[in-house]
């Protein structure tokens, strides 16, 4: 009596626990593993796309990779890029220089680019020798300069002005009195800063012997 071929094939199958494939061999991927691989690939592509967009924004802002992050951090505080652009570059004020020493007084008014508008000394008003260093000479000089500025309509152009004082001569106080008086009322409201540029000596060579009279 012959055996059924199907029964013969079943009887030849090995029994026992299933064998694991040896190291170095790979099994065929399942549909779930293929979907996970596609998700990772899409994530990496999206990350690279965002990085490229950031790099393009930084090149437009100035070529630095950190330039795009400097303004983005302010968005949460209510500031926007347009608000920062509206600030514009800082403006430099006009300068009113007063150089008052023992023998003379010099006044120079300059534009923000440091070009002089007017520059005069007490000698230009006719004061001679020792009279150039007096209080009255400095007062008249400052009043004359303020009058010239008003005649040239500079009080309509000057929006901010810095007063720079140098030296401790009598002209220092005289120029201050003019700016605080009636002669300086047209430009007094534009003064935003008063600074002292007097040069101080630290060490160095020995000073000359003081002159003694009598």
Q: Where do the structural domains in the chain lie, given as residue ranges?
A: 41-87, 94-196
Query: Average pLDDT of 188-197?
Result: 96
Q: 3 falls in which pLDDT band (50, 70, 90)?
A: low
Of the candidates 157, 176, 169, the residue with the CA atom closest to the CA atom of residue 132: 169
Based on DSSP, count helices (H) and strands (E) in the chain, helices before strands: 8, 5
Neighbours of 40 (CB within 10 A): 9
Q: Which of 18-32, 41-55, 78-92: highest mean pLDDT?
A: 41-55
Reported pTM: 0.57
- Residue 113, pLDDT score: 93
Query: Average pLDDT of 60-78?
Result: 44
- Residue 137, pLDDT score: 97
Of the candidates 208, 204, 138, the residue with the CA atom closest to the CA atom of residue 173: 138
| 93-103 confidence digits (pLDDT tens) | 999 999 999 99
Average pLDDT for the chain: 78
- Residue 61, pLDDT score: 44
Please state which architecture CATH assigns to domain 94-196: 2-Layer Sandwich (3.30)
């Amino acid at each position: 009596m012959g055996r059924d071929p199907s029964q013969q094939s079943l009887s030849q199958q090995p029994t026992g626990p299933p064998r694991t494939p040896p190291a170095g061999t790979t099994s065929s991927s399942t549909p779930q593993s293929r979907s996970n691989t596609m998700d990772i690939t899409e994530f990496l592509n999206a990350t690279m796309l965002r990085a490229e967009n950031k790099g393009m924004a930084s090149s437009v802002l100035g070529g630095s990779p950190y330039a795009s992050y400097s303004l983005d951090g302010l968005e949460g505080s209510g500031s926007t890029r347009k608000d920062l652009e509206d600030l514009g570059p800082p403006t430099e004020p006009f300068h009113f220089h007063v150089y008052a020493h023992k023998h003379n007084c010099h006044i120079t008014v300059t534009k923000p680019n440091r070009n002089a508008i007017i520059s005069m000394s007490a000698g230009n008003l006719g004061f001679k020798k020792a009279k150039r260093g007096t209080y009255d000479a400095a007062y008249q000089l400052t009043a004359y300069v303020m009058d010239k500025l008003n005649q040239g309509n500079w009080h309509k152009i000057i929006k901010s002005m810095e007063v720079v004082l140098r030296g401790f001569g009598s002209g220092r106080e005289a120029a201050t009195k003019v700016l605080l008086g009636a002669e300086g009322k047209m430009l007094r409201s534009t003064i935003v800063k008063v600074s002292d540029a007097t040069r101080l000596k630290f060490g160095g060579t020995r000073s000359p012997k003081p002159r003694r009279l009598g």
